[in-house]
A and B are shown apart, each in its own frame.
Chain A
Amino acid sequence: MASTVTPSRPGVRGRADPGSGGIDKLPPVDGGDYGSGRRGPERTPPPEGYRIGVWLVLASVSMMFLALTSAYIVNQAHVLPLDFPRVFIVSTALILASSLTFEMTRRELRRRREAVFLRWLMVTLGLGFAFLAAQIIAWRHLVAGGFYVNTNRHSGYAYIFTGLHAIHLFGGMLALSYVVWKSRRGSWTAVRRRVSVDATAVYWHFLDGLWIYLLVILFFWR
């Protein structure tokens, strides 16, 4: 005889199954929407899924940049000449600032200060945009200095590394915008929103660290 548990809303204890004592002390299995606001079986997962997912994304992105790093080393690209665009100092400051403002965002969310949370989130997004703009300016400076994508292997890797980083950062901004949109709509529970913001923060800080790493291997490693 198969045993099942009647679905219940999150937070509400399920009815105990006769003969399988103790079940009513456990949290409900399912039936609810895990706080996602979605109807139907295509429920999004329990919020921990976002946390697991983001660490998996970090593993994957790291592998790609590690592969490119090993290629960079084998190609001995760092010995070839390359200008250091000063704008990269500005973009570094911007991305570091954005990590800080992201932490402010998370703090305000934990303190349940809705409006302040959204404001810091917008600042973070703005800094992200500014970072991308600074990157584009930096690339224009490289071009002005005669360092095109195909000038030498060092410049090639510089564009590829910083370009891929920028693409991933843009992805992070899309994720953050999605969080804003979902928050505004009100279909997410507080827990799901907090986990989403935390997960995106992990991704964001990772990209911050990745940027510093890229700066070092591209311009400060001999």
Chain B
Amino acid sequence: MSHEVRPASESIIRRYIFSLDHKVIGIQYFCLALVAAFLGMGLSLLMRLRLAWPDEKWPMLEMVFPTGFRGGLMQPEFYLAMVTMHGTIMVFMVLTTAPQGGFGNYFLPIQIGAADMAFPVLNMLSFWTTLLSFLVLVLAFFVEGGAPIGGWTFYPPLSAIPSAGPGQGLGADLWLVSIGIFCIGSLLGALNFITTTLNMRTRGMTLTRLPLTCWGWFTTAFIALLSFPVLLAAGILLLAERSLGMSFFNPGGLVVSGKLIPGGGGSPILWQHLFWFFGHPEVYIAILPGMGVTSHILATFARKPVFGYRVMVVAILAIGLLGFLVWGHHMFISGMNPTSSIAFSVLTLTIGVPSAIKTFNWLGTLWGGRIRFTSAMLFSIGFVSVFVAGGITGLVLGQTSLDILFHDTYFVPGHFHLIMGVAAIFGIFAATYYWFPKAAGRMMNETLGQLHFWLTFFGVYAIFIPFHILGIVGHPRRIAEVTGYDFLRPFGSMHVFITIAALVTAAAQLIFLVNLVWSIFRGARASDNPWEATTLEWVTATPPPHDNFGGKLPVVHRGPYEYSVPGESNDYSPQTEPERVIAGS
């Protein structure tokens, strides 16, 4: 049907490994994120083992991690290394790669009617740079001292002093190098996304006809473009401090193991400012593509246009902009000026406004729709649920007076896991179930998808609601040793409950994995438009040809969500369908 425009002499290497095709690159990113997600999940399960059964011996694990499990007992430093690497891998290698690099790379060019990204070579380089960063990060597990232990936030002075703990030597250097490389890969990608969206839309695809997925990717790219350089700057300074004996962050007078650490005059708070100026926009990078996908999928399966399309676009842009102004809410207990606290607090609560607008508009999209409860739809509705749950606790933490109590307790991971660890992941799942037929040419198994959803949905609430309770009680975070605190003694059984819920939920993800892999080979053949959706990716063949549209780029005549338009014969009108000319007008 489509004629492939591709040189016959293209080698396997060029076609599938160092491919310039955005679709292949998207799949590469997705596979990287999949591997990273299971690795990160495994690390979290190790953490849960320690918290539920602190005195238990694990001889099998000691074989894999001899220094981490002396005598079979998990060492506290090992636990902290798990904390650090779990956070780093999940935030960077999963939530920053899959939604944007994975789905964005695959579907942005198609949804705007282009043949490829603006800079295909840069695209390929972005992926391989990101993969290199992942490999360098994982290398930290295999060097003397192991992985760093300072949390994914890597605060100095701990992170500035190589002798401060196991993993803080070479492991920490590798972490910094990895993150530096990741920044570069991310920046190259952001460049590509923005240029593509601005420059390569097909005829008729005005900005107001862009699917909300594209608006999500576009805004995310802008956020990445402006925030990752700050992380890079911070990383360069910290690496210089550690390896060249500088004192950008070292305040001086620090004693480690009885030895006075040289240097001084630096500011640990400086790192916090630099890191969180990046760190807060980073979490919007993690969630905005998921929001775009949610709007997209809700419209498709409710057979209704997105409620308030233009407002949704403004909300995405507002979240993107406001995200740069609130980093101080991660530093409320740093001793900052209370006036700054008020400013950051007010701005943080303000982000609740566009977020709430989006939530109500999602509900408005569903209202009165003829809903088709496919797996993708379930995960999108689930996204709304966990986004509200997680978002509400954000409003709690955004108030300085409350945050002073909750900072560094389990309340904070309760909040961000519901938003990032669940909602953003639900966005990834929804996108996978939705777009798998287009990319693989086969359908995923619906029964397994539904089972995956329900197990996961109840599982994540079972895991993370108790986190909030522990936080309210005052349970500190990032500690391996909880049995020493009298006030925490009654909560040992809660830790066991969480751990069992985590193990069950983790097992449920295997259902997804099996479904994914099995369906690639044995799934039912998919038609070009199995969901009867309107946007451009459903206009082209399944899977799309090398140049996306078989040599003829589409012309767009309609908006992205023309479902159930009165007077039309179908309950959906593809974007390429010309407007009906009414006789006599």
| Chain A residues at the B interface, C-beta cutoff of 8 Å | 1-7, 17, 19-20, 23, 26, 29-31, 39-46, 48-49, 52-53, 56-57, 59-61, 63-68, 70-71, 74-76, 149-150, 153, 156, 160, 164
Contacts and interface: CB of A to CB of B under 8 A. Distances in A.
A153 B191 contact: no
A64 B187 CA distance: 11
Interface string B301-319: 0000000000000000000
Contacts of B237: 68, 71, 160
Interface residues of B, number: 61
Given A4-B553, A160-B240, A52 B202 contact: no
Question: 3 closest Cβ contacts across the A-B interface?
Answer: A41-B547, A64-B229, A67-B233
Interface in B522-570: 539, 546-549, 551-555, 557
A69 B345 CA distance: 26
Given A20-B555, A49-B199, A63-B225, 11 more contacts: A4-B554, A17-B555, A40-B7, A43-B115, A45-B118, A60-B229, A74-B270, A149-B240, A149-B244, A153-B246, A153-B266
A53 B539 contact: no
A3 B226 contact: no
Contacts of B116: 41-43
A70 B198 CA distance: 32
A49 B195 contact: yes
19 contacts: A2-B554, A4-B553, A5-B555, A29-B202, A31-B553, A40-B547, A41-B21, A41-B116, A44-B118, A52-B195, A60-B190, A63-B230, A64-B230, A67-B230, A67-B234, A70-B274, A149-B240, A153-B266, A160-B237
Interface of B, secondary structure class, is: loop
Given A2-B539, A42-B116, A156 B225 contact: no
Nearest to B4: A41
Interface in B254-296: 265-267, 269-270, 273-274, 277
B6 A40 contact: yes
Contacts of A39: 5, 7
B119 A3 contact: no
Nearest to A164: B236
A66 B270 CA distance: 14
B270 A7 contact: no
A63 B20 CA distance: 29
B578 A45 contact: no
Contacts of A61: 229
A116 B555 CA distance: 43
B551 A7 contact: yes
Contacts of B553: 4-5, 7, 29-31
Nearest to A75: B248
Contacts of B539: 2
A30 B115 contact: yes
Given A57-B191, A63-B230, A153 B115 contact: no
A150 B232 contact: no
Given A2-B539, A43-B116, A59-B226, A150 B244 contact: yes
A7 B229 CA distance: 40
A67 B196 CA distance: 27
Contacts of B7: 39-40
Nearest to B536: A2
Contact of B246 (A57, A66, A70, A156): A156
A153 B21 CA distance: 46
Contacts of A60: 187, 190-191, 225-226, 228-229
B244 A5 contact: no
